[in-house]
Amino acid sequence: MAMKKSYVDKTICVACGVCTKVCPKQAIIIIKGCYAKVDAEHCVGCRKCEKNCPAGCIEVREG
Ligand code: SF4
Ligand code: SF4
């Protein structure tokens, strides 16, 4: 079974950093202050980032 992973639409990400704070695995970093990037190696698909992103630009889906 494929693991669910988090994906960021970086074109609408506002780089607020909320996702980096709620992720229990520290799997998200903000690149150059511009957009969030998920490290798929560490993401466990918990959806905390998706639920808390104020811009609605994170989707957790089958990787
Ligand atoms: S919470 Fe959403 S808008 Fe904020 S940095 Fe993360 S992906 Fe971007
Ligand atoms: S789904 Fe969970 S583990 Fe994966 S990036 Fe989002 S908060 Fe982190």
Q: CATH number, domain at 15?
A: 3.30.70.20
Which residue, by CA, sits nearest to atom 2 of ligand 1? 53
State yes or no: pLDDT of 63 exceeds 90: no
Q: Quick check: CB of 36 below 6 Å from ligand 1?
A: yes
Supply the pLDDT for residue 46.
97
Is this model's pTM higher than 0.85 or not?
yes
Tens of pLDDT, residues 9-61:
999 999 999 999 999 999 999 999 999 999 999 999 999 999 999 999 999 99
Supply the pLDDT for residue 31.
97
Give the domain range for residue 51. Answer: 4-62
Q: How far is CA 53 from the centre of its chain?
A: 8
Supply the pLDDT for residue 7.
97
Sequence-distant (≥ 6) Cβ neighbours of residue 40 within 8 angstroms: 5, 27, 63
Q: Quick check: CB of 60 below 6 Å from ligand 1?
A: no
Supply the pLDDT for residue 1.
58
Map tokens 């998706």 to a residue: 50
Q: Quick check: CB of 8 below 6 Å from ligand 1?
A: yes
Domain count, the chain: 1
